[in-house]
Amino acid sequence: MPEHNPLNAIAGYAEAFAAKLALEEGGSDFQEVRGEVGSTVVQLHPKRLALEVAEIIDETPSTRTLRLVAADGQPLPPFQAGQYVNLFVEIDGVHTARPYAMSSSPLQRMHYDLTVKRAQGGFVSHYLLDGVSVGQRLTSSGPMGTFHHNPLFHGDDLVFLAGGSGAAPARSILLNILDRQLPQRLHMVYVNSHVDDVIFAEELRELAARHANFTLSEVISRPPAGYAGHSGRLTLETLRALLGEVGERMFYICGPTPFNDSCVALLGELGVARRRIRVEANGAPKTPHEQAGWPAGVALEDEVQVTVRGRGSFRSQVGEPLLNALERNGYFVENACRSGECSLCRVKLVAGNVFNPQEAHLRQSDRDFGWIYACVAFPTGDIEILL
């Protein structure tokens, strides 16, 4: 192997190449390493993790952080800052799951911090905030997701627009930069409704004061009387004042769906190319009927019948995502993102019609062969599916 080979710069490449040459000379049927690859993959990308609640940290009146450790006491699988795990729970006999981004640093392998904010009308968030205690066992997927900084393509000048609990992946990305002493600069524009809603408030302010490569801009949309900081909705004028020239920065957006949509539109007006905007999906749309293509005469409150071929049927409302309805009626479908991206929850639509919103990232093959993503599919009439 020539010494000037640029691949030598890759960690482990020279050793792997030497091992390959040795195998070519001596021959092997690889029985001596049987199962090692599969074992390594499972350790790094487990389908399920057995977790235990080690600590519950009060962040704000509406938010808590669950500090989760491996039930066997071992280090947890590594993750990219910004990724999530899908947390599986059983609530009143209903088996369901929700994705939560790790808010802790990827360098901390002995625990994952999942920061949960109470969602209005929420099902799982209420349970996690009110019904979970220290010592309780929980199950999750392994780390997943593509919402993370890629140093090869995203550059070193980063802006994170966070709304509410969108601060969770932002904190993880920030801690990763600071803990590793990376060269990236991060400007976090953090929007909350009220002054007591600001998650990680003191920590973020202290880190911004100590680190020149971290800038924090707080915006309170419903400020108290006499509030002196940035207030009101995030507007074009506010962004211009906070960011100045956008240049070639990479933008990350995470918050409630309306916040995400508004931020994408504002950045477009500022001239930011869409390829330089990364948005963390945040569940099925709450108002799918307001999107283009919604069938005329169909209301979210209309009832439809869902038939699972060979297994039974049930009634559901049009405005309830199909995955939620299936879980509520005792049918399990593998899932992770619950936002139309990962495709794990896809089911076969045998008869009838569903509305696939803009969040449904269906592949052409899915459309050709009648597959739908249950987490963001809305039955607009009676349907039959195959699980």
State the Cα–Cα distance between residues 174 and 185, nearest whole angstrom. Answer: 9
Answer whether 282's CB lies under 8 Å from 257's CB: yes
Residue 283: closest CA among 335, 318, 226 = 335
Q: Tens place of pLDDT for every residue, the chain, 387 residues? A: 455 677 777 778 888 888 888 878 877 766 666 666 555 655 567 889 999 999 999 999 999 999 999 999 999 999 999 999 999 999 999 999 999 999 999 999 999 999 999 988 888 999 999 999 999 999 999 999 999 988 888 999 999 999 999 999 999 999 999 999 999 999 999 999 999 999 999 999 999 999 999 999 999 999 999 999 999 999 999 999 999 999 999 999 999 988 999 999 999 999 999 999 999 988 898 899 999 999 999 999 999 999 999 999 999 999 999 999 999 999 999 999 999 999 999 999 999 999 999 999 999 999 999 999 999 999 999 999 999
Which pLDDT belongs to residue 120?
A: 84
The tokens for 5 are 């080979």
φ and ψ of 110, to 5 deg: -90, -10
State the Cα–Cα distance between residues 308 and 324, nearest whole angstrom. Answer: 14
Q: Where are the alpha helices (DSSP H) in 1-35?
A: 13-26
List all residues 6 or more positions away from 370 whose beta carbon is below 8 Å from its beta carbon.
348, 349, 350
Sorted by where each starts, the structural domains of the chain and their CATH numbers stand as 48-144 (2.40.30.10), 154-279 (3.40.50.80), 293-386 (3.10.20.30)
Answer whether 49's CB lies under 8 Å from 85's CB: yes
Going through 7-93 in order, the beta strands assigned E by DSSP cover 49-60, 63-70, 84-91
State the Cα–Cα distance between residues 58 and 63, nearest whole angstrom. Answer: 7
The tokens for 205 are 């302010």
Q: What is the DSSP letter of 102?
A: B
CA distances from 227 to 130, 191, 224, 235, 352 (A): 32, 14, 6, 18, 54
Which pLDDT belongs to residue 1?
A: 47
Which amino acid makes up residue 170? Answer: A
Which pLDDT belongs to residue 13?
A: 84
State the Cα–Cα distance between residues 131 and 104, nearest whole angstrom. Answer: 22
The tokens for 106 are 């990827």
φ and ψ of 347, to 5 deg: -130, 160
